[in-house]
A and B are shown apart, each in its own frame.
Chain A
Amino acid sequence: MIVKYKPKRNWLQTIFHTEILQGLALTLSKLFSPPITRQYPKEKPPIYPGFRGQHALVRDPQSGTAKCVACMRCAQICPSRCISIRYHQEEETSRRVMDSFNIEALRCVYCGYCVEVCPVNAITMTDIFEYASYDRESIYFDKEKLLSNWDDFMSSSTYDQSSYVNPFWRPRGLPESELTAAKRVPVPDDWRIENQFIGRKARSKKITGGE
């Protein structure tokens, strides 16, 4: 396909600057259309579930502390190596107990891998994105800060703590059999693989093929 090239002007168009007038007419007509500018600090942008914002450790409603089981998967997957975890092993049950959990958010690349690999939904990324600071210490998150991030997120958003779930805990379109037990949480209907979007042509092909 050869693209069209060099539209010719006749002398009338050259004299009367028709193409410039057309452009001006277009900009003039936009004067009467509604503005599309978002007045940012007053007007917040829409945030969708699964936004990769500030980190938080989910506060377990039963125990009142973090759900983390110190499996180290998040620290292992982190591409920028910004997560560091310390743990000790309990003598009698040989369970791991997390002692400290630090995220250096200034190094974080916000890929969301840590949330996705967590087998117990302990870590999450919240919808909060306005946490710039003048010092580095306040963006260096330790365990307490991460837990309070979760509390802040829950109090500032409309989500309900018992039913909160984000698409990284349970990626859309992934069958339930692929998930760990803790990740088989109830999700909205259109996240389920049975309700996935199918194109018009593919659907008609499927129906005729089945018959």
Chain B
Amino acid sequence: MIKATTVDIPVSAGNEDHYRLRMGPQHPATHGVLRVDLDLDGETIMECEPHVGYLHRGFEKLAEHRTYVQNLVLTDRLDYIAAMANNVGYCEAVEKLLKIEVPLRAKYLRTMVCEMARISSHLLWLATHALDIGAMTVFLYCFREREELLELFAELCGARLTTTYTRLGGVRQDVTHSIMMKLVRFVDAFPANIEEYETLIDTNRIWLKRTVNVGTVSARDAVSLCLTGASLRGSGVDYDVRKHFPYAAYDLVDFEIPRGETGDTYARYRCRMEEMRQSNHILRQCIEQMPPGPIIGDDAPDLVMPNKPGRKVEVDTPARQGLIKLVEDRDIFMEGDVYVPTEVPKGELGFYFISDGNGSPYRMHIRSPSFIHIGALKTLAKGAMVADLIAIIGTLDVVLGECDR
């Protein structure tokens, strides 16, 4: 059972059954620094009040003082377990704002790393969710596969988690034959691994007791709570940004969107397991269809972007100034605003930019799925048991780095 971190004095005299329980922010089952204030009647949750902001780093403000290229490293630290997907989402948005074309190979590479990030994020979700509920072995098996993917990231771009892989107008590094051979091996072996996880928990009666009919949310409620990703699809709503507003090369690959019917924790679990299979399928297609060509577009801006229009980049070096062409006659600084959604493992990640014509955004807003999912916690946890709250936090798949940003 859950150990309380702090117990307050009972709320009012004559109402001894009611008391307040503070869960977190150091509670391991809250997946980071989430604090939840609970009003309990016995063990039933009467009121649940999530408190966020313990990991606030002010990314949206920081972004106003840095160029578009520099802001890319901030997105690594949003959802730090699927940094690749954030990188892609950020670059898709900036490219739409600056009207930069991406070559086909870069699009395929982006799709590929996005799906790798999705698998590694879902593996971590399954591992921690199962650990919270009490299944230890799944945790170990999931980390075995996740390690392989992280090592592929390290070989591809030099870092396991803070990848900074994409570029405005393309990607940073091309894949090598050795990376692709390892990926092929992973893709071939992975469906058997999913079966292993399913053997352990799929029909396990403890798992079913803890997940079936826990945290049920109807399709109508899920839409009105702005849930996205697998949390929404578990309720049977057919919405996936990859399918409905395709970006990168998602319109060139074939995949299906799994959705559940009942909208409980078990349905969301099934959805994510199916999503991993679909991601694996997309990875296989990306490997097979990987086209030749450049990895970065011709009109990609220089890394050293000026952050004021008209301010020249210092040119005091031999030969050309940099790696990537600085297209000086082209007006790279657009005015206006743009919102681009992308499907990250957690749900719909949107970047909203307002640009006043400078080299850095006037305002950057991040629509992070975790923040909105924590907002739904209040509705989902009402009437549930304290132990079920752990399952509900796990099933919403929140990452506090993205929530507090």
Contact = CB atoms under 8 A, between A and B. Distances in A.
B173 A167 contact: yes
B291 A197 contact: no
Interface in A1-53: 1-7, 9, 17, 19-20, 22-23, 26-27, 36, 45-48, 50-52
Interface stretch (A97-105, A141-149, A152-160, A200-208): A200-208
B173 A172 contact: yes
A76 interface: yes
Interface stretch (B2-10, B258-266, B327-335): B258-266
Interface in B177-208: 177-180, 196, 199-205, 208
B40 interface: no
A24 B9 CA distance: 45
Given A5-B266, A73-B314, A113-B303, A193 B289 contact: no
B218 to A, nearest CB: 16
A117 B303 contact: yes
A111 B203 contact: no
Interface string A158-189: 00000000011001111100111111000000
Contact of B323 (A5, A181, A183): A183
A191 interface: yes
B358 to A, nearest CB: 16
B317 A120 contact: yes
Nearest to B257: A1
Interface stretch (B23-31, B158-166, B365-373, B389-397): B158-166
A60 interface: no
B174 A173 contact: yes
Given A7-B203, A72-B314, A116 B289 contact: no
B260 A110 contact: no
B260 A117 contact: no
Interface residues of B, number: 77
Contacts, number: 201
B323 A179 contact: yes
A199 B288 contact: yes
Interface residues of A, number: 68
Contacts of A51: 154, 158-159
B303 A77 contact: yes
Given A117-B322, A190-B177, A26 B317 contact: no
Chain A contact residues, majority secondary structure: loop
B271 to A, nearest CB: 6
Contact of A180 (B288, B295, B322): B322
Contacts of A139: none
Contacts of A19: 202-205
Given A5-B262, A73-B304, A48 B177 contact: no
Contact of A26 (B144, B200, B208, B270): B200
B260 A2 contact: yes
Contact of B319 (A4, A45, A119, A167): A119
A182 B164 CA distance: 24
A199 B174 contact: no
Given A9-B203, A180-B317, A73 B176 contact: no
Contact of B274 (A3, A80, A110): A3
A201 B290 CA distance: 8
B173 A50 contact: yes
Contacts of A76: 304, 313-314
A196 interface: yes
Interface in B196-251: 196, 199-205, 208, 212, 236
A22 B176 CA distance: 40
16 contacts: A3-B259, A26-B196, A27-B137, A27-B200, A48-B158, A51-B158, A109-B162, A113-B303, A117-B322, A117-B323, A119-B321, A168-B158, A173-B296, A180-B317, A180-B319, A182-B319
Given A3-B271, A171-B173, 6 more contacts: A1-B257, A3-B259, A3-B260, A3-B274, A47-B154, A111-B164
Interface of A: 1-7, 9, 17, 19-20, 22-23, 26-27, 36, 45-48, 50-52, 69, 71-73, 76-80, 96, 109-113, 116-117, 119-120, 125, 167-168, 171-175, 178-183, 190-191, 193, 195-202, 206
Across chains A and B, which 4 residue pairs bring their CB atoms closest together, nearest first? A173-B174, A199-B290, A79-B70, A172-B174
